[in-house]
Amino acid sequence: MSKSTKKSSSKTKSSSRGKRKEEILLEKVIQHELVPRAEIVPREEAKRILRQLNAAPWQLPWIRSSDPLVRAIKAKPGDIIRIVRRSSTAGEHITYRFVVPG
C-alpha cells in the first residue's frame, strides 16, 4: 500500500468517527431538559399556517441552519420549524421559525 493510500484511508476513518461524534452530540442537544421540542413543519401545513398568520416565510423569526437544534433535526434553509416550549403559566407555547443559511 502506498503512502498516499494509507493517508486517505486514515482520513476517511477519522472523518467518519468525527461525524459520528457530532451526531451523538446533536442527539444529546435534543434530549437536554432545557431544550424545547422542535420539528420540521410539512410543506402543506406550513402553507396553511402562513395563510392563518397572513405572513410570508421570511416574515417569521429566523433561525440559522448552523444552530445546533436545526442541525439536530436536519432542517434545511427554507424549511419552517415548529418549536414547542414548556411554560409554567401557559402550559405550552408554540412558535415557528424560518431556517436561513448560516
The domain defined by 36-102 folds into Eukaryotic RPB6 RNA polymerase subunit (3.90.940)
Q: What is the pLDDT of residues 2-33, one digit of tens each?
A: 454 444 444 445 556 667 887 787 777 777 77
Cβ-Cβ contacts under 8 Å for 96 (sequence gap 6 or more): 41, 49, 60, 61, 80, 81, 82, 83
Q: What is the pLDDT of residues 76-99, one digit of tens each?
A: 999 999 999 988 898 999 999 999
